[in-house]
Structure 1
Amino acid sequence: MDHGIPPLSGADNFSAANDLAALLECLICAADQHIIPAPAAAPDHPSITDALDALLIAAQDLEVIPGMSLADHLWTHAAPLQSGEVASTLIRRGRPRHPIPGFLLLYAVDARSPLLYLPQRQPLRVRDGIELAHEAAGGSFLALIRCEAAADGRAHAVTACAIPIYHARRFVPVSASLDRDVLRALEHLQVALDAHGAECAIRRELPFFRTGPTRLTLSLSLPGRATREIHLGVAGDERSGHSAASLPPIDFLVTLANWDDGTFIDWLGKTLP
Structure 2
Amino acid sequence: MLIGDFARLGQVSVRMLRHYDAIGLLTPARVDPWTGYRTYAPEQLGALNRIVALRDLGFGLDAIGEIVAGGIDAGQLQAMLRLRQAQIEEDVRVASTRLAAVESRLRMIEKEKTVPVDLVLKTLPAQRVAGIRATMTHEEFVPRIGEMFGRVADLLAPTGISLETSVATYDEGEAGVDVFTGHPVPDSVAGALPDGLVLVDLPGGRAACGVHLGEMASIGESWQELYRATLDGGHTPAGPCREVYLRSHPHPQSDWVTELQQPVAD
TM-score, scaled to structure 2? 0.24
More helix by share: 2
Higher RCO (C-alpha 8 Å, min separation 6): 2
Instruction: Look at both structures and tell me which one has the larger radius of gyration over its CA atoms.
Output: 2
- TM-score w.r.t. the length of structure 1 is 0.23
